[in-house]
Structure 1
Amino acid sequence: MNSGQDAGTFADTGWGSPLMPNSSAARWPSRSLLGAMSPEACRELLGLGVRTRFEAGDVLLREGDTDRHVLVLLSGFAKVTARVENGEESLLAVRVGGDIVGEMAAMDGAPRSATVAACGTVDARLLRHDLLRGLLVRRPEVHLVLTGIVADRLRWANRRRLDFRGYPVKVRLARLLVELATSYGRPTERGPEIGCRLTQPELAALTGAAETTIHKGLRELRRSGLLETGYGSTVILDLPRLRRLADLPPDD
């Protein structure tokens, strides 16, 4: 991990205009922290803390640690994992540029509940918990956005638990792919592209299924013309049909 202290204003960070949400060079997902904030709030947030870079495999946050800073991801993606009772590591979620990680410990002071690790290069802003709290006081809109993100993550966790009980594996896989496409997909001529690369074991962990079953499910979805997988990405070729398979309502 490499970090560098800056002068404290966005214009002086050296990142340049591509990090602004209205720039054509960078589009943060609309449901992420940076994607949902106003340009003015983004400027203020990105002027706080220090510029930080992680390389593939670096740990951004470690389960059980008692530090309280947060990281706002600017680019790249990371995986969130936690240890279960038998000692095995379980994949809980993925986070991409625009997302915030570590906000729970920053707010309540409890030990980290999960480990966040970089998958490839990740650029981020590291903020002490007091800087985040000050921003939330000065800008209630940011407080509301962050509260909504925490609520979305809780709903996501609850949906996964219900999906495990109520749907077969193929439907659970379709629901996960729809969630990833709508939250993190990048529009292309062929359909939304999920740029974060998840392995079959990781998809199995997120859907509560066996790896062999996930392999079969992906093969069937490809044969049905619903998606196309390649190195480092997945393109959803027919999102409306995938939503129907996932037993989800049409996307307005």
Structure 2
Amino acid sequence: MGADSDWPSTTLLGSLSERTRAALLAAGSEIRYPRNHYLVRQDEEGDIAFLIMEGAVKVFVETASGTKSLLGIRVAGDMVGEMGAIDPEARRSATVQAATALVVRSVHRNRLRALLSEFPDLGIEVSRMISSRLRWANRRRVDATIKDGRVKLARLLVELATYYGERVGDHWELRIQLTQHELGYMAGLANRTVEKALADLEQEQVISKAYRRIRITDLPRLSRIAGWGENPPPCVVP
């Protein structure tokens, strides 16, 4: 994708004016990474932010005991590593790993901070991006109180479709491969519960699944199963 391409509206690049987007892209250097490469490691120092041009990454944190918790995924048009790049006192708060082959543009702290001063809309949209990710994390905490695994997984799938899905005809395709374990990490569910919930949703004909792929065949009905009825919160309106 280039500066004038149709970036998803839910991403940082998709939210910027053409002028600001072009300046941000010009400030970066293109780098290609293979699948599974680590762009950012938790607790390390860093002064680079990455704009994802092609591909997708997974963002996770790891506890002292070695347990991983998947926080989310980022796709083409998103930025990662921005907090460590903006704040010289901050260490990386999470690990970012390539889920696919990647093309990124790396932007150094000095260039990013200069752009934030020069282009007010960039500062606004970066703030909105960070706020959106905090709200995502808060919703996962709220969902942790839900006892019904089917409802909890439905909520996660609706949000994944909204933020990272691609509409193909009358259904939605998630643009990243996720294992059942990874869905469980994000939804706060045991693997057996995820397996049963997926089977139930597939039997209800709201999703279909293949190897690491999920197709949402009836998003309005899935939203109703999630407990939002006909009026889901704005964050999950496709």
State the TM-score, normalized to the length of structure 2: 0.92
Considering only aligned residues, what root-mean-square deviation do their CA atoms show, in Å?
1.5
Q: Secondary structure at the match of 1:159?
A: helix
Which of 10, 19, 32 aligns to 2:2? It is 19
State whether structure 2 residue 42 is matched by structure 1 residue 59: no
- Displacement, 1:117? 0.4
- Displacement, 1:20? 3.3
CA deviations over 1:8-32 (Å, ceiling 9, x no partner): xxxxxxxxxx4234x3xxx432111
Which of 48, 66, 73 aligns to 2:52? It is 73
Distance 1:77 1:87 in 2: 24
Identity %: 39
State whether structure 2 residue 22 is matched by structure 1 residue 43: yes
Give the gaps of 5 or more residues in structure 1. 1-17
Query: Which 10-residue stretch deviates more, 228-237 or 119-128?
Result: 228-237
Which of 122, 127, 140 aligns to 2:107? It is 127
Question: Cα–Cα, structure 1 residues 195 and 231, in superposed 2: closer, same or farther, change >3 Å?
Answer: farther
Aligned partners of 2:29 and 2:105 also within 8 Å = yes
Distance 1:228 1:134 in 2: 46
Q: Which residue of 2 aligns with 1:239?
A: 219
Give the gaps of 5 or more residues in structure 2. none
Aligned partners of 1:82 and 1:114 also within 8 Å = yes
- Displacement, 1:40? 1.7
State the TM-score, normalized to the length of structure 1: 0.87
State whether structure 2 residue 168 is matched by structure 1 residue 188: yes
Q: Which residue of 2 aligns with 1:228?
A: 208
Query: Which 10-residue stretch deviates more, 81-90 or 46-55?
Result: 81-90
CA deviations over 1:74-129 (Å, ceiling 9, x no partner): 11111011112432122111111111001111222211011100012111100001
Distance 1:192 1:107 in 2: 35
Distance 2:83 2:47 in 1: 9
* Paired residue total: 231
Query: Which 10-residue stretch deviates more, 124-133 or 85-94?
Result: 85-94
**Superposed, which structure 2 residues align to 1:1-252 within 5 Å?**
18-21=1-4, 23=5, 27-109=6-88, 110-231=90-211, 233-248=213-228, 249-250=231-232, 251=237
